[in-house]
Structure 1
Amino acid sequence: MSERAGLSPAVGAEQAAAALADRVVANLGSAVHASRETLRLPLLCLFAEGHVLVEDVPGVGKTVLAKALARSLDLTFHRVQFTPDLLPADVTGVNVFDRQSATFRFRPGPVFANVLLVDEINRASPKTQSALLEAMQETQVTVDGATHVLERPFLVVATQNPIEYEGTYPLPEAQLDRFAVRMTIGYPPHAEEARMLEEQTTEPPLDHLKPVASHDELVRAVEAARGIHVEESLTRYVVALLRHTRGSSRLALGASPRSGIALLSLAKARALVERRDFVVPEDVQALAESVLAHRLILAPEARATGVTAEEVVSEALAATPAPV
Structure 2
Amino acid sequence: MRNIGILTSGGDSPGMNAAIRAVVRKAIYHDVRAWGINYGFSGLLNNDIHPLEIGDVGDIIHRGGTMLYTARCEEFKTKEGQEKAVRHLRDAGMDALVVIGGDGSFQGAQVLNDLGFPTIGVPATIDNDVPGTDFTVGFDTALNTVIEAIDKIRDTATSHERTYVIEVMGRDAGDLALWSGLADGAETILIPEQPYDMDDTVHRLVRGHKRGKKHSIIIVAEGAASGVEFGKEIQERTGFETRVTVLGHIQRGGSPTAFDRVLASRLAAHAMELLLNGKSGRLVGMLANQIVDQQIGNALQKPHHIDENMYRLSQELSI
Asked whether the two chains share a fold, i.e. TM above 0.5, the reply is no
Pick the structure with greater CA Rg. Answer: 2
**What TM-score does the superposition give when structure 1 sets the normalisation length?**
0.28
